[in-house]
Structure 1
Amino acid sequence: MTFFQQVRTEAAKVVWPSRRETIITTVMVFIMCAFTSVFFFLVDRILGWGVGQILG
């Protein structure tokens, strides 16, 4: 029982992000995922072309 009281006390100390902060962070994650996807797509194409030139 003491454990659950301690958990409840610690959970009360947590500062939860606001709705606006959560939305902004989520949008930033999606933007960074898009940039990363485009970057690795382009790197893959360039390296594939280079290997094709060497072996082809």
Structure 2
Amino acid sequence: MAKTNPGQFVRQVRQELNKVTWPSRKETGISTLMVFVMVFLAALFFFVVDQGLAWGVQLIFGLGG
């Protein structure tokens, strides 16, 4: 791989940054909301699974109240 000097490196970085398409404020908000919804759904799923397993263990071993 050829070595580049610092000036050429900075020019290449600027060229690549010009190619980036940044999300709009609306797209960022929607993506953030979707992340929170998916985290909530995952937490709910794992809570239900955990409660089901705890119930099963209590049923099998007769532990807990």
TM-score (normalizing by structure 2): 0.83
- List runs of 5+ in structure 1 lacking aligned partners: none
AA in 1 matched with 2:33:
V
CA distance, structure 2, for counterparts of residue 35 and residue 10 of structure 1: 37
The structure with more helix, counted as a fraction of residues: 1
Q: Deviations over 1:13-49 (max 9, x none)?
A: 0000000000000001000100110010010000011
Where does residue 57 of structure 2 map in the other structure? Answer: 51
Where does residue 15 of structure 1 map in the other structure? Answer: 21
User: Cα RMSD over matched residues?
Assistant: 0.6
- Seq. identity, %: 54
CA distance, structure 2, for counterparts of residue 47 and residue 4 of structure 1: 56
- List runs of 5+ in structure 2 lacking aligned partners: 1-6
TM-score (normalizing by structure 1): 0.95
User: Relative contact order (alpha carbons < 8 A, sep ≥ 6): 1 or 2 greater?
Assistant: 2
